[in-house]
Structure 1
Amino acid sequence: MRIKAKKMAFGGLLLALSVICMILGSVIETGTLFLLAAASFFVGIVFREFGRRTAAVFYVAGVLLGLILAPNKLYVATYGAMGFFILAEETAWDRLGGLNAGVRKKTALLWGIRYGIFNLLYLPAVLFFQKLLFAGTLSLWVELGVLAAGQAVLFLYVGAYGYVQRELWGKLRGHIFRT
């Protein structure tokens, strides 16, 4: 297996940044979700640059390094869920590229897949791990509110990820991979 040294070094730097974001999430409590989202966005960058297998290895390495280095393991689990979501979304988009359908149909299918993946991760966390996530047991209405808020947050997360890929990474990419 041949890997160019520049790409390997770049992947290592992204992995370091990902773990640093996880660790900083424990230090800067007000920016925890922002930093964990930023850490998970690196999984998508690696996916788009190097492919699915490399991104999967990157993701696993990020989770393992986070478990070793990050002081708050719940944040590593959150990064794990966010990174898995990005990995699954990018894989779905890759697979939908070969589908013989219009752009609207592909977009609708992708949103269905996004909500399906998200709810497979989010619903069990809220329903079965309430004592771990919240100070106590939630009432039915608060629980429903938390579930609905999660659906809205997914929309914001996907929008932020799209912005990072399109605007930020799209502009930085040319400067980094210049030969």
Structure 2
Amino acid sequence: MLWRGDAAVSAPLELTTGHRLFVAALAFSPDGRTLATGSDDRSVALWDVRTGARLARMPAGHTDTVRALAWSRDGRLASGGEDATVRLWDTRAPGPAIGMPLRYQDGSPVTALSASPDGRELTALYGTATVTWPFSPAAWSRLACTFAAGVRDRPQDVAGYAGGAGPADRCP
């Protein structure tokens, strides 16, 4: 349920048709108009705060519970989960996650995410490790290309890391 204003005088807005299991994470967009929810059902949903309508459900991405969400200033959303990955979503055109998921080396679940005030960095808590990733689209692609360096012999693998573009388009 989402309360607007004073809970003593306003009725709650029910958000009831977005997830099949418990909601484990939520975050308001920077403009306050959209609420993102992450769930035990492995999905991320976007809601209109004024009407309660579901705006989008992000396609399959996480393979376990979504435990953390953080927005960038320009409308991208990061999600982190029990599957030990951080994924980046373009909420303006919901579709597959941008690039490949980012995974920390020890395989611990992601339990918290926070964007820096300037929007250039995303900090993730993986168990007891705190890891800071770049959060701008260009930096995310460069990082993806770095991770893809070990699989450059297969262009389709590099394309997956670079968000669908071929290596000549995105990776040096």
TM-score (norm 1): 0.27
Greater per-residue helix proportion: 1
Bigger relative contact order, structure 1 or 2 (CA pairs below 8 A, ≥6 apart): 1
Greater per-residue strand proportion: 2
